[in-house]
Structure 1
Amino acid sequence: MSEREATRRGVLKGIGVSVAAAMGTAALPGSAAASSPWESVESPTGNTLHDVEYTDAGAYAVAGGGVVLERTELGWKKIIDGGPTGNGNSLYGADVTDDGEALWFVGSSGAIGEYDVESGVLTDHSAPMDVTNNFNDVSVTGEAGEANVYVAGDSGKMYYSFENGASETWDYVTPGSGSAINAVDFFDDRKGHIVDGNKSVFRTQDGSTWNKIGLADANVNFYGVDSDGFDDVWVSGGGGMIFHWDGSEWTPSDTGDAGLRDIEVTDGDDDGYTVGGGGKVYELDGDWTQNETPTGQNLKAVVRGATDIAVGAGGTIVER
């Protein structure tokens, strides 16, 4: 396990425990152990929730219309409405610095925001290099205030800043054919993976140059990626397909027909979740098996912690 993975996963698991303790055992549905069923939780928005992350201050979710939600002792509440610019640009992806202190999110029309979860200060980094294309996902490494920031562009470009998104520090590269980059995840400061709309997976060792590592004859679109190492990569896609790279070969798993929009697997433990269309949740515990959920809404993202959380269309939030 890399130093970044050990830090990030250790911090987030600890965060989950502390939040659950603060809420008490009956504060929110789904705060029981992972063996309990998924339960619906009241949401303060009807907008589609596109991503969810744990920070040092608890869980946050980002949504259409520039909405950002925070999970509190009294339930989920809206803390930002309108996004980093205030123009209501939808937010599609989020990530957290290694110390858990800054939540980054990206979205339509070049929206990029950095939210300090302790102070509540929102910094607008939108339209880097005057780019106002849609941004689909973001990954950040390092600590708050000095992070490396990687933004997946809908036009097939990866935008990056090694100086916390300062306005003059951005650059970009086009890793593939120009197809939309749907997801990005880093397991170390400048090491990670992306998937694009041309059924391709790329890796980088320096944060700026990318090499294709697959996938031949996949025949489905790729939507989610979990990068845990150069020999441990998980990809979720259309047609219920999941692919795992072990450093030498790709192993496919077929869960059914739901498009799987996000995947999160614990590094080295081979346990995790993937979520997608029709409220589908599949759990990895040796094999991928379907969980029962209380929703038929399309799920867009999942995060693991003392309380596991999945979010999706219509403001849907389910917890376990």
Structure 2
Amino acid sequence: MPDPIYDVIAIGNAIVDVMAPCEDVEIAALGLAKGGMTLVDTARAKELYDAMGPAREISGGSAANTLAGLAALGAKCAFIGQVADDQLGEVFAHDIRAGGIAFDTAARAGDPPTARCLIFVTPDGQRTMNTFLGASQFLPAQALDENAIAAASVLYLEGYLWDPEEPRKAMRRAIAAARNAGRKVAFTLSDAFVISRHGDDFRALIADGQIDILFANEHELAALTGLDDFQAGLMQLAANVPTVVVTRSEHGAHAVSGGEHAHVPAQPIDKVVDTTGAGDLFAAGFLFGHVRGRPLEDCLTLGAICAAEVISHYGARPEADLNMLVAANVG
């Protein structure tokens, strides 16, 4: 097998996040599910945008956020995702390339426009996300660069993008390309609502041995396994997935790999400002440790460090020097 060109190549939603602080009463008045992620259509997206206070526009998308963290740590990364030929599409492409991430997917002409996620952040740091998928849900299989996929140590896929039919086919094709090249496939479950719609697909992928590294939080773990007992759910997945990583917010994170079970506490933080991207950056830290051959506990610690950094400020991309934080916390 030739040496990889990339550490991680990811396929995900190419989204621009539009973030604004708000009060709990506004969440209730708008009929939003606090702390969750809801898919919205064009009309609802406009209604919510009009209701937002002063906002910041920051390129986002779950897998793209993970790559931003990986690249900041020094990993070589590439991204596959669909934007439209419009202003937000140019913003997304500029931001991801400026982070040192290869991005060669051609922009899509015409409607729908580039995806955007309208995020309301309450004083407790909880983010309520309303996602208009726009052009991102029309990623065709022919847009895949299978040579690039075969040249990456890890193919990383986000569950959010499993929902639309066209990118779901593209992701299945990408899994085949990665496995044919002897590379690893990592998958993040993304949200319990995705599992409610596509859990059977995910369970089938796991049963068929298609997933090498699975990321979940404790709520997604319960939704996927049907087990309320955390340890029972973790061990059920570990019996079928080589590496399982599960986060538990302030209670830290667990991983099981090759019979080894590791746990680390959450990193201390003065104040939680915005939890957007916490899971994405945790995956970034863990995958960085993984591709560098670090011990399992170190991989978890790297994830916890990156997650703590991103929840200390608005936005789902790192702002502090992650390498300095890692050097100060990991031997």
* TM-score, normalisation: structure 1: 0.36
Higher strand share: 1
Q: Report which of the two has the higher share of helix.
A: 2
